[in-house]
């Protein structure tokens, strides 16, 4: 393995999660735009919830991989500011990758609406309309935050590649 690359497992999980999360954001905004009378809305919800369970499982696996596999150091010429900004964005992304599915779970559970995966996910929170409504709002706000952090992540990678002429994409490809 090259010293400047993430482990193969982390690279696969990174791109798999990228596809899932972008798909989840698109489907989330799309289904929110549909009227309740639209029958496809609830089919999308079911798929969205199942994908959310998958994302949560992948982030747990990703955290374990990150803890127990090689993580290449940032380039030596990165300033303290860039290193701290990178750590802050990574922390934000990991936090949101955990909070988004958890808030979705709480919202579904408090709404009394099941989550079908390969099995029925148990709803551990009693039906509570106020909690469901509050967490629905939180889930939506978190979606905008994760978009913000994804954009920061992509812009930073592009800046380092195109302006600084450091191809840091090779670390994750």
Q: Which residues contact 126 (CB under 8 A, 6 or more apart)?
A: 110
Q: Give the pLDDT score at 2.
A: 60
Residue 101 and residue 64: Cα distance in Å, rounded? 18
What global pTM score does this model have? 0.93
Going from the first residue of the chain to its last (173 residues), give the mean pLDDT of each consecutive group of 10, the final group possibly shorter: 83 98 97 94 95 97 94 92 96 98 98 94 96 98 98 96 91 93
Pseudo-torsion of CA 78, 83, 84, 87, nearest 10°?
160
SS3 (DSSP) at 59: helix
Instruction: Please state, as a whole number, how many other Cβ atoms lie within 10 Å of the Cβ of residue 19.
Output: 9
- Supply the pLDDT for residue 162: 94
The reported pLDDT for the residue numbered 10 is 95
**Residue 45: partners with Cβ closer than 8 Å, 6 or more residues away:** 31, 113
Rounded-to-integer distance, Cα 19 and Cα 127, Å: 32
Which of these, 70, 85, 103, lies nearest to 153 by C-alpha position?
85
For residue 3, the model assigns a pLDDT of 74
pLDDT at residue number 167:
84
Residues forming beta bridges with residue 121, ordered by sequence position = 115
């Amino acid at each position: 393995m090259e010293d400047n690359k993430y482990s193969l497992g982390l690279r696969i999980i990174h791109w798999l999660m990228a596809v899932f999360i972008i798909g989840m954001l698109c489907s989330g905004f799309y289904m929110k735009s549909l009227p309740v009378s639209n029958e496809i809305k609830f089919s999308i919800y079911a798929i969205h919830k199942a994908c959310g369970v998958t994302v949560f499982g992948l982030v747990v696996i990703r955290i374990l991989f990150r803890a127990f596999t090689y993580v290449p150091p940032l380039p030596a010429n990165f300033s303290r500011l860039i290193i701290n900004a990178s750590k802050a964005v990574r922390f934000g992304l990991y936090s949101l990758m955990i909070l988004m599915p958890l808030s979705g779970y709480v919202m579904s559970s408090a709404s009394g609406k099941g989550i079908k995966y390969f099995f029925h996910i148990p709803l551990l929170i009693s039906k509570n309309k106020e909690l469901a409504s509050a967490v629905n709002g939180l889930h939506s706000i978190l979606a905008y935050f994760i978009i913000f952090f994804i954009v920061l992540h992509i812009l930073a990678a592009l800046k380092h590649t195109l302006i600084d002429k450091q191809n840091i994409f090779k670390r994750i490809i």
